[in-house]
Amino acid sequence: MTEDLLQLTPSGLYCPAGDFYIDPWLPVARAIITHAHADHARPGSRRYLTTPTGAPLLARRVGDAVVQTLPFGERLTINDVTISFHPAGHLLGSAQVRLERRGEAWVVSGDYKLECERTCEPFEPVRCHVFITESTFGLPIYRWPPQAEVFAEIERWWRTNQENGLTSVLYAYALGKAQRLLAGIDASLGPILVHGAVLPFIQLYRSAGVELPKVFHADEMNARLHRGRALVIAPPSAGHMPGWLRKFGPCSQAFASGWMTIRGARRRRAVDRGFVLSDHADWAGLLEAIRATGAERIGVTHGYASQMARFLQEDGWRAEVIPTRFTGEALEEMDAVVDGTVE
């Protein structure tokens, strides 16, 4: 990839002509960040560039570092390269990064989903010559049911639990998924409690203008007060903390994730229910997004990269795997840990 606009280096994807990295996994001088999940936004770099709505989320990850912003659709030239951000629909402020140099355009997707919902800017297809796509759910078995169906299922589960005197504990990643659940659920069904790791992100979403229902901190007092009626939203790691669950009394546990497509995944989590709700594109969504770019060359990363690249090659694309240091589930788990499990 010598003449390429982006190269893979030990620190991550590097643009030699612009002298910057995209989502680097080691500290660098200049990092362009697609979104604030831990596998994309690593601390330690000197300067960061991201979207205005993504910046407060990123700032929580990177502490005192300089965070600069570039609004969606505006252009910025760094050395020889013009860059712009375009919504990725993954979480608040999440971006695809478009790079252009001498008439050649590359787009790095970051994580993305095609479904629209009100906690983030809707995904926008961007034309380019080279598209670097994620492939977290890059297997044909991953097909998302309509969101409305999933929310109806979650509400039914919550209501049934109430009838049986059970607290409903729903595990979801603290950043992105938790806010999407809050925005989509019928909050009139009962009190909603959230784990301490979810609270700061709720505040940041509200500051950005995303309306979310009233929530209570899932502390000892609120847990006792709302036992048997509440919906509790917590990161997956909370369930592993000894004693954490006890304060809610008898409960039913569920997990909201694309991984819940697979029965074994639910068993591994030892939860009662799994709801298939993902902030990534499913198999059909990935292919739709790839086609919409009009790109002739596809880099596949972050997930089932080799399977997806092989499929694309057989279908006549020029596709290659771009290895990543972290992938899918393990990393998203880590995300929850990094978000903190302190209450």
Residues that bind Zn ion (CB under 5 A): 37, 39, 111
Q: CA–CA distance from 33 to each of 68, 70, 148 (Å)? A: 10, 11, 31
Nearest CA-CA partner of 114 in 327, 293, 262, 255: 293
Whole-angstrom Cα Rg for the chain: 20
Residue 178 CA to chain centroid, in angstroms?
11
- Rounded least distance, CB 90 to Zn ion, Å: 5
* Distance, CA of 266 to CA of 255 (rounded, Å): 8
- Rounded least distance, CB 40 to Zn ion, Å: 6
Query: Burial of 279 by CB count in 10 Å (0-12 exposed, 13-18 middle, 19+ buried)?
Result: buried
Which is closer to Zn ion, CB of 230 or CB of 289? Answer: 289
Which is closer to Zn ion, CB of 18 or CB of 110? Answer: 110
- Rounded least distance, CB 255 to Zn ion, Å: 17
Which is closer to Zn ion, CB of 39 or CB of 282? Answer: 39
Per the rule left: phi > 0, alpha: psi between -120 and 50, beta: everything else, 209 is left
- Rounded least distance, CB 110 to Zn ion, Å: 7
Which is closer to Zn ion, CB of 165 or CB of 323? Answer: 323
Nearest-5° Cα angle at 83, 80 to 87: 170
Which is closer to Zn ion, CB of 39 or CB of 100? Answer: 39
- Rounded least distance, CB 9 to Zn ion, Å: 19
Burial 137-149, CB ≥16 within 10 A → b, else e:
bbbeebebeeeee
- Rounded least distance, CB 12 to Zn ion, Å: 13
- Rounded least distance, CB 96 to Zn ion, Å: 12
Q: What letter does residue 123 receive in the DSSP assignment?
A: P
Output the six-digit token pair for 342. 């302190």
- Rounded least distance, CB 196 to Zn ion, Å: 21
Which is closer to Zn ion, CB of 78 or CB of 334? Answer: 334
- Rounded least distance, CB 296 to Zn ion, Å: 25
Which is closer to Zn ion, CB of 111 or CB of 339? Answer: 111
Give φ, ψ of 72 to 5 degrees: -50, 135
Task: Return the H-helix or E-strand segment holding 206.
Answer: helix 199-207
Which is closer to Zn ion, CB of 23 or CB of 100? Answer: 23
Spatial CB neighbours of 235, under 8 Å, sequence gap ≥ 6? 171, 172, 173, 174, 178, 195, 197, 198, 336, 339, 341
* Distance, CA of 343 to CA of 48 (rounded, Å): 29
Which is closer to Zn ion, CB of 5 or CB of 92? Answer: 92
Give φ, ψ of 213 to 5 degrees: -70, 165
